[in-house]
Structure 1
C-alpha cells in the first residue's frame, strides 16, 4: 500500500510502515498526519498483521511538524472564541493520529535514525519500543518555536524516562543522543546506521509476530491500561482479560508445541 506520505508493506505478519517524505526530512503536514492516523487504525484492525515496524526514509526519521503547514493553520479572526474552538478541534485531530499508533492492538517497533525532532518524539513515544542508529538524536523542539508540546510527549515520555530529564528536554530543547536515550531506557538497542536499525527492528517485529497474537494483544492492552493507574486496578484488568481468553486455541497450541518440541502455529485474530 502506497501514498504520497506513507509507504506500507506487509509480509509474514509484519507491516513495515515508512514515513515517505524523505525529500522534506519527513516533516509532517496535514496529509502526513492523516496518513499516519488512517494507516495505524487500519493495520491495528487487520487480522493478518501481528506487529508493525515504523521507520523513515531519507536523512532523518522525521524533522517533526512542517512549519509551513503549521503557519497556515490559524489565520487571524475577528472572533477569538470561534477561533479557539477550531484550534482545539484541530489539535485533537492531530493528537488522535498518534494515539492510533498507541491504540493499535499489535506492538509497534520504531526504527529511528538521524533526527527525531518535535512531533517525531510524540510519535516515537506512542510506539511500544524503539531501536536507534548511532547518529540518532531526540529533540523536544517545540519550545524553540514558542509551542507547548501537545501531541503526546509530555503525557507519554514521563513513563519512559525520568521526569527530570523530560522536563530538561522540554524546557531547553536540547538534543539527546542515542547513547543517552539508551542509558535512560528510551531506546532498547543501538546499531550502526539506518539500515541496521530497520533490520534490528524487523527482527524484533518478526519475533513478536511468531507469538500468540491473543497473548500479545492482551499484554499491550494491559500495559497501556495499567500506566498511571494503581497496581490493584491493573491486576483486576488483566485478570478479567485472562479469565476470558485462557480458553483460546492459542493456549492449547502453545502447550502442544512445547511438549512436542515444535514451533507453534497460531491463527489470526478476528476482524
Structure 2
C-alpha cells in the first residue's frame, strides 16, 4: 500500500506553506474553526463537524473523546475544535512530568496536560504557525498557566534540548508533516530514556485517488498526508522506539466521513492512537 505524504507535484516547502497558511487563518477566526462564527470551510481537521456553522466546539471536542470536566478546565478560546482524538486520554500523565506537544495550536491539550502534571510539572507546546503561537500565549495568560510555554518551530526541528521531556503528545498533526520519520527522530531525541510517545492521528487504510493527493485542501484537512500503519511502525522503529502500538479506532468514521463533501474520507482513513517508548 502506498504511503502518500505529499500532494503530487508538491515540495516539502509547499506542503508546509499550505498548512501554515490554513492554520494561520484558523487562528485569526475569533469563533474558532468550528465555532459559531466559522463558515465551516477552513480546510482543517475540524471540517469533520464544521459544515454546520452553528456546530459548537465543545460538541466537537466531546465527539473526539473529551469529557465535560476537560472542557470546563480550560478558559479562553484554546479549544478550536481541531484534532481526531484526545492524546491526554492515552498519555497517562503523572504529576511532575514534562510534556511536549507537537503542533500545539491554541494550546487546549497543553492546558489539560498542565492540569494533569500539576505545579511540579511543565508543558511545552511547539507550533510552526506564528498566529497560533500568539493565540496560545494569550490563552496561557487567560488560564494563568505559568507552567506552560509555547515555542515557534517545526516539529521536524524541535526547539527543545536533548532528553528533556518525559512524554510527547500530539493531536492529528504528524500527518501534516512531509517528513514523518524526521518527526519521530526528533521526538526520540527530545525524550528522556524511558520516555513515551502518545499521540492521536489518522492512518491511511486504502490508497488515495489522485484527485485527493493533488488537492491542497485534502492535505491541510488531515487527509492526503496520512501514512499507513506499516509506514508509521517502520519509521518509529527506525527512530529507536520500542513497545510500538498503533490502534485504529473503528468508530472514528462517524466524524471522518464529514471531512469532505465530494468523497468519503473514511474510505481511506481511520483515527488511531499511536504509542511507543524510548528504551530506558
Normalised TM-score (structure 1):
0.26
Higher relative contact order (CA closer than 8 Å, sequence separation 6+): 2
Indicate the structure (1 or 2) with the bigger Cα radius of gyration: 1
User: Higher helix fraction: Structure 1 or Structure 2?
Assistant: 1
Normalised TM-score (structure 2):
0.26
